[in-house]
A and B are shown apart, each in its own frame.
Chain A
Protein backbone atom coordinates (compact mmCIF):
# COMPACT_ATOMS: atom_id res chain seq x y z
CA UNK A 1 0.00 0.00 0.00
CA UNK A 2 1.60 3.23 -1.11
CA UNK A 3 -0.96 5.53 0.44
CA UNK A 4 0.73 5.35 3.81
CA UNK A 5 4.11 6.65 2.72
CA UNK A 6 5.16 10.24 2.98
CA UNK A 7 7.66 12.01 0.77
CA UNK A 8 10.54 10.06 2.25
CA UNK A 9 8.87 6.68 2.09
CA UNK A 10 8.80 6.70 5.85
CA UNK A 11 5.44 5.04 6.13
CA UNK A 12 3.85 7.73 8.30
CA UNK A 13 1.87 9.67 5.72
CA UNK A 14 -1.82 9.50 4.93
CA UNK A 15 -3.52 6.18 5.59
CA UNK A 16 -7.00 5.24 4.34
CA UNK A 17 -8.25 4.63 7.91
CA UNK A 18 -7.82 8.37 8.51
CA UNK A 19 -10.98 8.87 6.42
CA UNK A 20 -12.83 6.83 9.05
CA UNK A 21 -11.45 9.11 11.76
CA UNK A 22 -12.66 12.17 9.84
CA UNK A 23 -16.09 10.57 9.50
CA UNK A 24 -16.25 9.98 13.29
CA UNK A 25 -15.46 13.65 13.87
CA UNK A 26 -17.89 14.95 11.23
CA UNK A 27 -20.81 13.16 12.88
CA UNK A 28 -20.27 15.20 16.07
CA UNK A 29 -20.94 18.33 14.02
CA UNK A 30 -24.43 17.11 13.06
CA UNK A 31 -25.80 18.82 16.16
CA UNK A 32 -29.42 19.13 14.91
CA UNK A 33 -29.44 15.36 14.32
CA UNK A 34 -28.74 14.46 17.94
CA UNK A 35 -30.32 17.46 19.67
CA UNK A 36 -33.51 15.51 20.53
CA UNK A 37 -35.11 13.71 23.49
CA UNK A 38 -36.51 10.61 21.72
CA UNK A 39 -35.64 7.79 21.49
CA UNK A 40 -34.73 7.43 25.17
CA UNK A 41 -32.44 4.68 26.39
CA UNK A 42 -32.26 3.58 30.06
CA UNK A 43 -33.89 6.89 30.99
CA UNK A 44 -31.29 8.92 29.04
CA UNK A 45 -32.56 11.35 26.39
CA UNK A 46 -31.06 10.73 22.92
CA UNK A 47 -28.82 13.83 23.16
CA UNK A 48 -26.99 12.28 26.11
CA UNK A 49 -26.78 8.58 25.28
CA UNK A 50 -25.88 9.20 21.65
CA UNK A 51 -22.89 11.39 22.51
CA UNK A 52 -21.72 9.08 25.30
CA UNK A 53 -22.08 6.09 22.95
CA UNK A 54 -20.19 7.90 20.20
CA UNK A 55 -17.16 7.99 22.50
CA UNK A 56 -16.99 4.18 22.23
CA UNK A 57 -17.36 4.33 18.45
CA UNK A 58 -14.44 6.79 18.31
CA UNK A 59 -12.33 4.51 20.53
CA UNK A 60 -13.00 1.46 18.36
CA UNK A 61 -12.27 3.32 15.12
CA UNK A 62 -9.07 4.84 16.53
CA UNK A 63 -7.92 1.45 17.81
CA UNK A 64 -8.67 -0.08 14.40
CA UNK A 65 -6.72 2.72 12.70
CA UNK A 66 -3.83 2.03 15.08
CA UNK A 67 -3.64 -1.68 14.24
CA UNK A 68 -4.16 -1.06 10.51
CA UNK A 69 -1.36 1.53 10.32
CA UNK A 70 1.04 -0.54 12.45
CA UNK A 71 0.37 -3.55 10.18
CA UNK A 72 1.07 -1.67 6.98
CA UNK A 73 4.24 -0.27 8.58
CA UNK A 74 5.45 -3.81 9.19
CA UNK A 75 4.62 -5.16 5.75
CA UNK A 76 5.98 -2.26 3.76
Chain B
Protein backbone atom coordinates (compact mmCIF):
# COMPACT_ATOMS: atom_id res chain seq x y z
CA UNK B 1 0.00 0.00 0.00
CA UNK B 2 1.33 3.46 -0.85
CA UNK B 3 1.74 5.95 1.97
CA UNK B 4 -1.52 7.85 2.42
CA UNK B 5 -0.14 11.26 3.37
CA UNK B 6 -3.46 13.07 3.81
CA UNK B 7 -4.83 10.35 6.06
CA UNK B 8 -1.61 10.22 8.06
CA UNK B 9 -1.59 14.00 8.65
CA UNK B 10 -5.19 13.96 9.89
CA UNK B 11 -4.39 10.93 12.06
CA UNK B 12 -1.35 12.60 13.64
CA UNK B 13 -3.27 15.84 14.25
CA UNK B 14 -5.95 14.03 16.21
CA UNK B 15 -3.33 12.13 18.18
CA UNK B 16 -1.67 15.44 19.05
CA UNK B 17 -5.06 16.78 20.19
CA UNK B 18 -5.72 13.86 22.54
CA UNK B 19 -2.18 14.03 23.87
CA UNK B 20 -2.78 17.65 24.83
CA UNK B 21 -6.17 16.79 26.38
CA UNK B 22 -4.60 13.86 28.24
CA UNK B 23 -2.02 16.06 29.94
CA UNK B 24 -4.40 18.98 30.52
CA UNK B 25 -6.95 16.69 32.20
CA UNK B 26 -4.87 16.66 35.40
CA UNK B 27 -6.43 20.05 36.14
CA UNK B 28 -9.97 18.77 35.58
CA UNK B 29 -11.89 18.62 38.90
CA UNK B 30 -8.47 18.82 40.45
CA UNK B 31 -7.54 16.33 43.12
CA UNK B 32 -4.47 15.25 45.09
CA UNK B 33 -2.63 12.80 42.82
CA UNK B 34 -0.79 11.47 45.87
CA UNK B 35 -3.97 9.64 46.86
CA UNK B 36 -4.75 6.39 45.08
CA UNK B 37 -8.49 7.04 44.80
CA UNK B 38 -7.77 10.39 43.14
CA UNK B 39 -5.28 8.95 40.63
CA UNK B 40 -6.97 5.58 40.12
CA UNK B 41 -10.67 6.53 40.39
CA UNK B 42 -10.52 10.27 39.61
CA UNK B 43 -11.86 10.86 43.11
CA UNK B 44 -15.12 9.08 42.26
CA UNK B 45 -16.70 12.30 41.03
CA UNK B 46 -17.96 11.50 37.53
CA UNK B 47 -21.59 12.34 36.74
CA UNK B 48 -23.99 10.63 34.33
CA UNK B 49 -22.63 12.02 31.07
CA UNK B 50 -18.91 11.55 31.81
CA UNK B 51 -19.57 8.04 33.11
CA UNK B 52 -21.46 7.31 29.90
CA UNK B 53 -18.50 8.38 27.76
CA UNK B 54 -16.01 6.67 30.07
CA UNK B 55 -17.78 3.30 30.21
CA UNK B 56 -18.60 3.50 26.51
CA UNK B 57 -14.97 4.27 25.69
CA UNK B 58 -13.87 1.58 28.10
CA UNK B 59 -15.89 -1.48 27.14
CA UNK B 60 -16.34 -0.86 23.41
CA UNK B 61 -12.66 -1.05 22.54
CA UNK B 62 -10.65 -0.63 19.33
CA UNK B 63 -10.27 -4.38 19.20
CA UNK B 64 -14.06 -4.74 19.39
CA UNK B 65 -14.43 -2.38 16.46
CA UNK B 66 -11.95 -4.41 14.41
CA UNK B 67 -12.73 -7.96 15.56
CA UNK B 68 -16.55 -8.01 15.60
CA UNK B 69 -16.93 -6.94 11.95
CA UNK B 70 -13.99 -9.24 11.10
CA UNK B 71 -16.01 -12.11 12.56
CA UNK B 72 -19.08 -11.05 10.57
CA UNK B 73 -16.90 -10.78 7.46
CA UNK B 74 -15.40 -14.24 7.93
CA UNK B 75 -18.12 -16.24 9.72
CA UNK B 76 -21.41 -14.36 9.39
CA UNK B 77 -24.37 -14.35 11.79
CA UNK B 78 -22.49 -15.57 14.88
CA UNK B 79 -20.79 -12.13 15.09
CA UNK B 80 -24.18 -10.63 15.99
CA UNK B 81 -23.85 -12.26 19.44
CA UNK B 82 -22.45 -8.85 20.35
CA UNK B 83 -26.00 -7.47 20.22
CA UNK B 84 -27.90 -9.76 22.66
CA UNK B 85 -24.71 -9.78 24.76
CA UNK B 86 -24.99 -6.05 25.30
CA UNK B 87 -28.81 -6.21 25.61
CA UNK B 88 -28.75 -8.53 28.63
CA UNK B 89 -25.80 -6.86 30.34
CA UNK B 90 -27.49 -3.55 31.18
CA UNK B 91 -30.54 -4.79 33.11
CA UNK B 92 -28.01 -6.81 35.11
CA UNK B 93 -25.87 -3.71 35.74
CA UNK B 94 -29.01 -1.77 36.69
CA UNK B 95 -29.97 -4.20 39.43
CA UNK B 96 -26.62 -5.49 40.72
CA UNK B 97 -23.91 -2.88 40.34
CA UNK B 98 -25.35 -0.07 42.46
CA UNK B 99 -24.79 -2.50 45.36
CA UNK B 100 -21.09 -2.80 44.51
CA UNK B 101 -20.81 0.98 44.16
CA UNK B 102 -22.50 1.53 47.53
CA UNK B 103 -20.47 -0.96 49.52
CA UNK B 104 -17.27 0.31 47.87
CA UNK B 105 -18.09 3.91 48.76
CA UNK B 106 -19.15 3.00 52.29
CA UNK B 107 -15.95 1.03 52.96
CA UNK B 108 -13.41 2.84 50.75
CA UNK B 109 -12.86 -0.05 48.31
CA UNK B 110 -11.28 0.79 44.97
CA UNK B 111 -11.12 -2.71 43.44
CA UNK B 112 -13.37 -5.77 43.36
CA UNK B 113 -10.69 -7.66 45.30
CA UNK B 114 -10.89 -4.98 48.05
CA UNK B 115 -14.56 -5.88 48.39
CA UNK B 116 -13.76 -9.61 48.51
CA UNK B 117 -11.14 -8.98 51.21
CA UNK B 118 -13.64 -7.07 53.33
CA UNK B 119 -16.67 -9.27 52.69
CA UNK B 120 -15.04 -12.65 53.29
CA UNK B 121 -12.09 -11.60 55.47
CA UNK B 122 -9.90 -13.91 53.40
CA UNK B 123 -6.73 -12.45 51.88
CA UNK B 124 -6.05 -15.52 49.73
CA UNK B 125 -9.43 -15.40 48.04
CA UNK B 126 -8.86 -11.68 47.46
CA UNK B 127 -5.44 -12.51 46.00
CA UNK B 128 -7.01 -15.04 43.61
CA UNK B 129 -9.53 -12.44 42.47
CA UNK B 130 -6.81 -9.79 42.00
CA UNK B 131 -4.50 -12.14 40.07
CA UNK B 132 -7.35 -13.27 37.82
CA UNK B 133 -8.15 -9.65 37.04
CA UNK B 134 -4.55 -8.79 36.20
CA UNK B 135 -4.08 -11.97 34.15
CA UNK B 136 -7.25 -11.38 32.12
CA UNK B 137 -6.43 -7.71 31.55
CA UNK B 138 -2.87 -8.02 30.24
CA UNK B 139 -3.69 -9.73 26.91
CA UNK B 140 -6.68 -7.39 26.54
CA UNK B 141 -4.30 -4.40 26.62
CA UNK B 142 -2.04 -6.18 24.14
CA UNK B 143 -4.99 -6.66 21.79
CA UNK B 144 -5.66 -2.93 21.73
CA UNK B 145 -2.23 -2.61 20.16
CA UNK B 146 -3.31 -4.89 17.33
CA UNK B 147 -6.13 -2.45 16.56
CA UNK B 148 -3.59 0.35 16.44
CA UNK B 149 -1.16 -1.73 14.36
CA UNK B 150 -3.82 -2.53 11.73
CA UNK B 151 -4.82 1.08 11.09
CA UNK B 152 -1.23 2.32 11.01
CA UNK B 153 -0.35 -0.34 8.44
CA UNK B 154 -3.49 0.51 6.45
CA UNK B 155 -2.23 4.09 6.02
CA UNK B 156 0.77 2.63 4.22
CA UNK B 157 3.30 3.29 6.97
CA UNK B 158 5.95 0.72 6.03
CA UNK B 159 8.95 0.59 8.31
CA UNK B 160 11.73 -1.97 8.29
CA UNK B 161 13.36 -4.03 11.03
CA UNK B 162 12.82 -2.94 14.59
CA UNK B 163 11.36 0.37 13.33
CA UNK B 164 8.21 -1.61 12.45
CA UNK B 165 7.12 -1.13 16.04
CA UNK B 166 8.10 2.53 16.29
CA UNK B 167 4.55 3.94 15.83
CA UNK B 168 3.22 1.57 18.49
CA UNK B 169 6.01 2.47 20.88
CA UNK B 170 5.43 6.21 20.37
CA UNK B 171 1.68 5.83 20.90
CA UNK B 172 2.17 3.82 24.05
CA UNK B 173 4.82 6.20 25.38
CA UNK B 174 2.34 9.08 25.01
CA UNK B 175 -0.34 7.00 26.67
CA UNK B 176 1.94 5.97 29.52
CA UNK B 177 2.98 9.58 30.15
CA UNK B 178 -0.48 11.12 30.46
CA UNK B 179 -1.73 8.13 32.42
CA UNK B 180 1.11 8.54 34.86
CA UNK B 181 0.42 12.20 35.49
CA UNK B 182 -3.36 12.46 35.13
CA UNK B 183 -4.58 8.99 36.15
CA UNK B 184 -8.18 8.10 35.29
CA UNK B 185 -9.00 11.70 34.39
CA UNK B 186 -6.97 11.32 31.16
CA UNK B 187 -8.90 8.44 29.56
CA UNK B 188 -12.19 9.96 30.76
CA UNK B 189 -11.44 13.24 28.98
CA UNK B 190 -10.13 11.50 25.85
CA UNK B 191 -13.08 9.10 25.81
CA UNK B 192 -15.38 12.04 25.05
CA UNK B 193 -13.41 12.89 21.90
CA UNK B 194 -12.97 9.26 20.90
CA UNK B 195 -16.62 8.30 21.31
CA UNK B 196 -17.84 11.30 19.30
CA UNK B 197 -15.37 10.39 16.54
CA UNK B 198 -16.55 6.76 16.54
CA UNK B 199 -20.21 7.83 16.35
CA UNK B 200 -19.45 10.17 13.43
CA UNK B 201 -17.47 7.47 11.61
CA UNK B 202 -20.10 4.77 12.04
CA UNK B 203 -23.03 6.99 11.10
CA UNK B 204 -21.14 8.20 8.04
CA UNK B 205 -20.51 4.55 7.16
CA UNK B 206 -24.11 3.38 7.54
CA UNK B 207 -25.45 6.38 5.61
CA UNK B 208 -22.98 6.57 2.72
CA UNK B 209 -21.79 3.02 2.17
CA UNK B 210 -25.20 1.36 1.58
CA UNK B 211 -25.98 4.18 -0.88
CA UNK B 212 -22.74 3.46 -2.74
CA UNK B 213 -23.23 -0.29 -2.75
CA UNK B 214 -26.88 -0.24 -3.84
CA UNK B 215 -28.81 -0.45 -0.55
CA UNK B 216 -29.03 -2.79 2.42
CA UNK B 217 -30.74 -5.58 0.50
CA UNK B 218 -27.81 -5.68 -1.94
CA UNK B 219 -25.38 -5.85 0.98
CA UNK B 220 -27.21 -8.75 2.64
CA UNK B 221 -27.61 -10.48 -0.73
CA UNK B 222 -23.85 -10.33 -1.34
CA UNK B 223 -23.11 -12.34 1.82
CA UNK B 224 -23.12 -16.13 1.24
CA UNK B 225 -26.67 -17.05 2.22
CA UNK B 226 -25.72 -19.90 4.56
CA UNK B 227 -23.83 -17.37 6.71
CA UNK B 228 -26.77 -14.96 7.09
CA UNK B 229 -28.36 -17.09 9.80
CA UNK B 230 -27.11 -19.38 12.55
CA UNK B 231 -27.06 -23.10 11.86
CA UNK B 232 -30.67 -24.22 12.24
CA UNK B 233 -30.04 -26.84 14.93
CA UNK B 234 -29.59 -27.14 18.68
CA UNK B 235 -25.82 -26.68 18.39
CA UNK B 236 -26.18 -23.44 16.45
CA UNK B 237 -28.57 -22.07 19.08
CA UNK B 238 -26.69 -23.27 22.15
CA UNK B 239 -23.40 -21.93 20.79
CA UNK B 240 -24.90 -18.49 20.17
CA UNK B 241 -26.84 -18.27 23.45
CA UNK B 242 -23.99 -19.45 25.68
CA UNK B 243 -21.56 -17.16 23.88
CA UNK B 244 -23.60 -14.02 24.56
CA UNK B 245 -24.56 -15.11 28.08
CA UNK B 246 -20.97 -15.90 29.07
CA UNK B 247 -19.62 -12.73 27.48
CA UNK B 248 -22.21 -10.69 29.37
CA UNK B 249 -21.43 -12.36 32.70
CA UNK B 250 -17.73 -11.69 32.16
CA UNK B 251 -17.84 -8.10 30.91
CA UNK B 252 -18.43 -6.21 34.13
CA UNK B 253 -16.12 -8.44 36.16
CA UNK B 254 -13.14 -7.11 34.20
CA UNK B 255 -11.14 -4.70 36.36
CA UNK B 256 -11.49 -1.86 33.85
CA UNK B 257 -15.30 -2.10 33.99
CA UNK B 258 -15.25 -2.10 37.80
CA UNK B 259 -12.97 0.95 37.76
CA UNK B 260 -15.43 2.71 35.45
CA UNK B 261 -18.38 1.87 37.72
CA UNK B 262 -16.63 2.89 40.93
CA UNK B 263 -15.56 6.27 39.52
CA UNK B 264 -19.23 7.32 39.31
CA UNK B 265 -20.27 10.05 41.73
CA UNK B 266 -23.34 8.21 43.02
CA UNK B 267 -25.33 5.00 42.57
CA UNK B 268 -28.02 6.72 40.50
CA UNK B 269 -25.38 7.55 37.87
CA UNK B 270 -24.87 3.81 37.34
CA UNK B 271 -28.61 3.12 37.10
CA UNK B 272 -29.13 5.95 34.62
CA UNK B 273 -26.21 4.68 32.57
CA UNK B 274 -27.74 1.21 32.40
CA UNK B 275 -30.56 2.81 30.42
CA UNK B 276 -28.28 5.03 28.33
CA UNK B 277 -25.36 2.72 27.48
CA UNK B 278 -27.39 0.56 25.04
CA UNK B 279 -26.85 3.43 22.58
CA UNK B 280 -23.37 1.94 22.22
CA UNK B 281 -24.88 -1.52 21.70
CA UNK B 282 -26.81 -0.18 18.72
CA UNK B 283 -23.57 1.31 17.43
CA UNK B 284 -21.83 -2.03 17.89
CA UNK B 285 -24.59 -3.80 15.94
CA UNK B 286 -24.05 -1.38 13.07
CA UNK B 287 -20.29 -1.88 13.33
CA UNK B 288 -20.79 -5.64 13.03
CA UNK B 289 -22.61 -4.96 9.77
CA UNK B 290 -19.51 -3.16 8.45
CA UNK B 291 -18.17 -6.70 7.99
CA UNK B 292 -20.97 -7.43 5.52
CA UNK B 293 -20.41 -4.09 3.80
CA UNK B 294 -16.74 -5.00 3.37
CA UNK B 295 -17.81 -8.30 1.84
CA UNK B 296 -20.28 -6.59 -0.49
CA UNK B 297 -17.59 -4.05 -1.50
CA UNK B 298 -15.49 -7.08 -2.51
CA UNK B 299 -12.37 -5.86 -0.67
CA UNK B 300 -11.27 -9.49 -0.23
CA UNK B 301 -10.63 -9.83 -3.97
CA UNK B 302 -9.03 -6.40 -4.45
CA UNK B 303 -5.26 -6.82 -5.06
CA UNK B 304 -4.65 -3.43 -3.39
CA UNK B 305 -5.53 -4.98 0.00
CA UNK B 306 -3.99 -8.41 -0.47
CA UNK B 307 -0.92 -7.65 1.63
CA UNK B 308 -3.07 -6.23 4.45
CA UNK B 309 -5.27 -9.33 4.51
CA UNK B 310 -2.19 -11.51 4.42
CA UNK B 311 -0.74 -9.77 7.46
CA UNK B 312 -3.87 -9.19 9.54
CA UNK B 313 -6.33 -11.69 8.01
CA UNK B 314 -9.98 -10.74 8.50
CA UNK B 315 -9.03 -7.98 10.94
CA UNK B 316 -8.14 -6.01 7.82
CA UNK B 317 -11.74 -6.04 6.54
CA UNK B 318 -12.89 -2.78 8.15
CA UNK B 319 -9.72 -0.77 7.37
CA UNK B 320 -9.95 -2.00 3.77
CA UNK B 321 -13.61 -0.96 3.57
CA UNK B 322 -12.81 2.50 4.94
CA UNK B 323 -9.95 2.91 2.43
CA UNK B 324 -12.22 1.72 -0.38
CA UNK B 325 -15.17 4.05 0.13
CA UNK B 326 -14.02 7.22 1.93
CA UNK B 327 -11.91 10.21 0.81
CA UNK B 328 -8.40 10.31 2.28
CA UNK B 329 -9.08 12.97 4.91
CA UNK B 330 -11.99 10.96 6.30
CA UNK B 331 -9.88 7.79 6.24
CA UNK B 332 -7.47 9.63 8.56
CA UNK B 333 -10.36 10.69 10.80
CA UNK B 334 -11.85 7.17 10.98
CA UNK B 335 -8.47 5.55 11.63
CA UNK B 336 -7.73 8.13 14.32
CA UNK B 337 -11.07 7.19 15.92
CA UNK B 338 -10.00 3.53 16.00
CA UNK B 339 -6.46 4.38 17.15
CA UNK B 340 -7.65 6.63 19.96
CA UNK B 341 -10.22 3.93 20.64
CA UNK B 342 -7.25 1.73 21.49
CA UNK B 343 -5.69 4.25 23.87
CA UNK B 344 -8.74 4.85 26.07
CA UNK B 345 -9.40 1.25 27.15
CA UNK B 346 -5.66 0.51 27.30
CA UNK B 347 -5.28 3.44 29.71
CA UNK B 348 -8.18 2.38 31.92
CA UNK B 349 -7.12 -1.27 31.86
CA UNK B 350 -3.59 -0.48 32.96
CA UNK B 351 -4.89 1.82 35.72
CA UNK B 352 -7.26 -0.93 36.87
CA UNK B 353 -4.50 -3.54 36.86
CA UNK B 354 -2.25 -1.12 38.76
CA UNK B 355 -4.97 -0.53 41.37
CA UNK B 356 -5.32 -4.30 41.85
CA UNK B 357 -1.61 -4.88 42.19
CA UNK B 358 -1.10 -1.98 44.58
CA UNK B 359 -4.08 -2.56 46.83
CA UNK B 360 -4.38 -6.32 46.86
CA UNK B 361 -0.84 -7.56 46.41
CA UNK B 362 1.59 -4.76 47.36
CA UNK B 363 -0.27 -3.31 50.34
CA UNK B 364 -1.77 -6.61 51.43
CA UNK B 365 1.31 -8.79 51.29
CA UNK B 366 4.45 -6.68 50.80
CA UNK B 367 4.10 -3.34 52.56
CA UNK B 368 0.99 -3.33 54.78
CA UNK B 369 1.68 0.00 56.47
CA UNK B 370 2.57 2.02 53.39
CA UNK B 371 1.72 5.72 53.40
CA UNK B 372 -1.01 6.88 50.97
CA UNK B 373 1.62 8.69 48.90
CA UNK B 374 3.72 5.52 48.57
CA UNK B 375 0.63 3.56 47.57
CA UNK B 376 -0.27 6.07 44.86
CA UNK B 377 3.33 6.15 43.58
CA UNK B 378 3.37 2.35 43.44
CA UNK B 379 0.20 2.33 41.33
CA UNK B 380 1.63 4.89 38.90
CA UNK B 381 4.80 2.84 38.45
CA UNK B 382 2.83 -0.38 38.07
CA UNK B 383 0.71 1.15 35.31
CA UNK B 384 3.96 1.78 33.40
CA UNK B 385 5.15 -1.79 33.92
CA UNK B 386 1.80 -3.14 32.74
CA UNK B 387 2.02 -1.13 29.51
CA UNK B 388 5.59 -2.18 28.80
CA UNK B 389 4.53 -5.78 29.41
CA UNK B 390 1.66 -5.48 26.92
CA UNK B 391 3.99 -3.89 24.37
CA UNK B 392 6.57 -6.67 24.74
CA UNK B 393 3.75 -9.21 24.42
CA UNK B 394 2.91 -7.87 20.97
CA UNK B 395 6.49 -7.29 19.82
CA UNK B 396 8.01 -10.58 20.97
CA UNK B 397 5.21 -13.10 20.51
CA UNK B 398 3.08 -14.01 17.48
CA UNK B 399 -0.28 -12.18 17.28
CA UNK B 400 -2.14 -15.45 17.84
CA UNK B 401 -0.85 -15.59 21.42
CA UNK B 402 -2.54 -12.35 22.40
CA UNK B 403 -5.79 -13.39 20.72
CA UNK B 404 -5.75 -16.83 22.38
CA UNK B 405 -4.86 -15.33 25.75
CA UNK B 406 -7.71 -12.84 25.48
CA UNK B 407 -10.10 -15.68 24.74
CA UNK B 408 -8.85 -17.44 27.86
CA UNK B 409 -9.09 -14.11 29.72
CA UNK B 410 -12.88 -14.14 29.32
CA UNK B 411 -13.00 -17.73 30.58
CA UNK B 412 -10.81 -16.80 33.57
CA UNK B 413 -12.53 -13.60 34.63
CA UNK B 414 -15.97 -15.25 34.71
CA UNK B 415 -14.62 -17.53 37.47
CA UNK B 416 -14.77 -14.54 39.82
CA UNK B 417 -18.56 -14.33 39.32
CA UNK B 418 -19.68 -16.40 42.35
CA UNK B 419 -17.29 -14.63 44.73
CA UNK B 420 -18.11 -11.08 43.61
CA UNK B 421 -21.71 -11.14 42.34
CA UNK B 422 -23.23 -13.64 44.79
CA UNK B 423 -21.11 -11.96 47.46
CA UNK B 424 -23.02 -8.74 46.88
CA UNK B 425 -26.17 -10.51 48.08
CA UNK B 426 -25.09 -13.13 50.58
CA UNK B 427 -22.28 -14.11 52.93
CA UNK B 428 -23.52 -17.69 52.95
CA UNK B 429 -20.79 -18.87 50.54
CA UNK B 430 -17.60 -20.02 52.22
CA UNK B 431 -14.31 -18.43 51.05
CA UNK B 432 -12.52 -21.80 50.95
CA UNK B 433 -15.32 -23.27 48.84
CA UNK B 434 -15.19 -20.25 46.52
CA UNK B 435 -11.42 -20.66 46.18
CA UNK B 436 -11.78 -24.34 45.24
CA UNK B 437 -14.57 -23.51 42.75
CA UNK B 438 -12.45 -20.73 41.26
CA UNK B 439 -9.40 -23.01 40.85
CA UNK B 440 -11.46 -25.77 39.27
CA UNK B 441 -13.09 -23.33 36.84
CA UNK B 442 -9.73 -21.82 35.89
CA UNK B 443 -8.12 -25.20 35.24
CA UNK B 444 -11.08 -26.75 33.46
CA UNK B 445 -11.67 -23.66 31.28
CA UNK B 446 -8.01 -23.40 30.30
CA UNK B 447 -7.86 -27.10 29.49
CA UNK B 448 -11.04 -27.01 27.40
CA UNK B 449 -9.78 -23.96 25.50
CA UNK B 450 -6.36 -25.46 24.82
CA UNK B 451 -7.77 -28.85 23.84
CA UNK B 452 -9.74 -27.44 20.90
CA UNK B 453 -7.10 -25.01 19.64
CA UNK B 454 -8.34 -21.87 21.44
CA UNK B 455 -11.79 -21.55 19.99
CA UNK B 456 -14.63 -20.33 22.22
CA UNK B 457 -17.20 -23.08 21.55
CA UNK B 458 -16.58 -26.50 23.07
CA UNK B 459 -18.51 -29.53 21.76
CA UNK B 460 -19.50 -31.07 25.10
CA UNK B 461 -20.50 -34.75 24.95
CA UNK B 462 -23.31 -35.16 27.45
CA UNK B 463 -26.20 -37.64 27.81
CA UNK B 464 -25.16 -39.30 24.56
CA UNK B 465 -25.38 -36.11 22.51
CA UNK B 466 -23.10 -33.22 21.58
CA UNK B 467 -23.98 -29.83 23.02
CA UNK B 468 -21.72 -27.07 21.72
CA UNK B 469 -21.39 -24.20 24.19
CA UNK B 470 -19.14 -21.37 25.26
CA UNK B 471 -16.35 -22.77 27.45
CA UNK B 472 -16.72 -19.98 30.01
CA UNK B 473 -20.27 -21.16 30.77
CA UNK B 474 -19.30 -24.81 31.17
CA UNK B 475 -16.35 -23.94 33.40
CA UNK B 476 -18.32 -21.52 35.58
CA UNK B 477 -21.11 -24.09 36.06
CA UNK B 478 -18.55 -26.43 37.60
CA UNK B 479 -17.34 -23.47 39.69
CA UNK B 480 -20.94 -22.80 40.87
CA UNK B 481 -21.48 -26.45 41.79
CA UNK B 482 -18.29 -26.64 43.85
CA UNK B 483 -18.82 -23.23 45.49
CA UNK B 484 -22.34 -24.08 46.64
CA UNK B 485 -21.73 -27.76 47.41
CA UNK B 486 -18.60 -27.21 49.48
CA UNK B 487 -20.14 -24.17 51.21
CA UNK B 488 -22.99 -26.35 52.41
CA UNK B 489 -20.42 -28.81 53.73
CA UNK B 490 -18.17 -26.19 55.41
CA UNK B 491 -21.09 -24.21 56.82
CA UNK B 492 -22.38 -27.31 58.63
CA UNK B 493 -19.39 -27.00 60.97
CA UNK B 494 -18.90 -23.24 60.72
CA UNK B 495 -18.24 -20.93 63.62
CA UNK B 496 -18.46 -17.20 63.05
CA UNK B 497 -18.07 -15.66 59.60
CA UNK B 498 -15.67 -12.79 59.13
CA UNK B 499 -17.39 -9.88 57.36
CA UNK B 500 -16.60 -6.21 57.83
CA UNK B 501 -19.52 -5.02 55.69
CA UNK B 502 -22.99 -4.23 57.07
CA UNK B 503 -26.30 -4.85 55.24
CA UNK B 504 -26.93 -1.11 55.02
CA UNK B 505 -23.62 -0.60 53.16
CA UNK B 506 -25.09 -2.20 50.03
CA UNK B 507 -27.71 0.50 49.65
CA UNK B 508 -25.66 3.42 50.98
CA UNK B 509 -26.04 6.66 49.06
CA UNK B 510 -22.54 7.80 50.01
CA UNK B 511 -23.62 11.41 49.74
CA UNK B 512 -21.12 12.64 52.32
CA UNK B 513 -19.04 15.51 50.97
CA UNK B 514 -15.49 14.70 49.96
CA UNK B 515 -16.32 11.25 48.68
CA UNK B 516 -14.50 8.20 49.90
CA UNK B 517 -12.14 7.37 52.71
CA UNK B 518 -9.43 4.81 52.24
- Chain A residues with CB under 8 Å of chain B are 6-8, 10-12, 18, 21-22, 24-25, 28-29, 31-32, 35-37, 40, 42-45, 47-48, 51-52, 54-56, 58-59, 61-63, 65-66, 69-70
Contacts and interface: CB of A to CB of B under 8 A. Distances in A.
**Which 7 A-B residue pairs are closest in the complex by CB-CB distance?**
A43-B216, A43-B217, A21-B91, A10-B507, A12-B507, A28-B84, A62-B275
A62 to B, nearest CB: 4
A45 B91 contact: no
Interface string B188-232: 000000000000000000000000000111111000000011101
B88 interface: yes
Nearest to A40: B217
Interface in B138-168: none
A31 B234 CA distance: 10
Contacts, number: 118
A44 B221 CA distance: 10
A32 B220 CA distance: 20
Contacts of B268: 70
Given A10-B507, A31-B230, A31-B241, A25 B88 contact: yes
Given A6-B507, A32-B237, A40-B217, A51 B83 contact: yes
B220 A28 contact: no
Contacts of A37: 228-229
Contact of B275 (A7, A45, A51, A59): A59
9 contacts: A8-B507, A11-B507, A28-B84, A29-B245, A37-B228, A43-B218, A48-B80, A59-B276, A61-B91
Interface in B441-466: none
Contact of A44 (B216, B240, B274): B216
Contact of B90 (A22, A44, A47, A62): A62
A58 B91 contact: yes
Interface string B76-95: 01001001101110111011
A32 B240 CA distance: 11
A59 B278 contact: yes
A22 B92 CA distance: 9
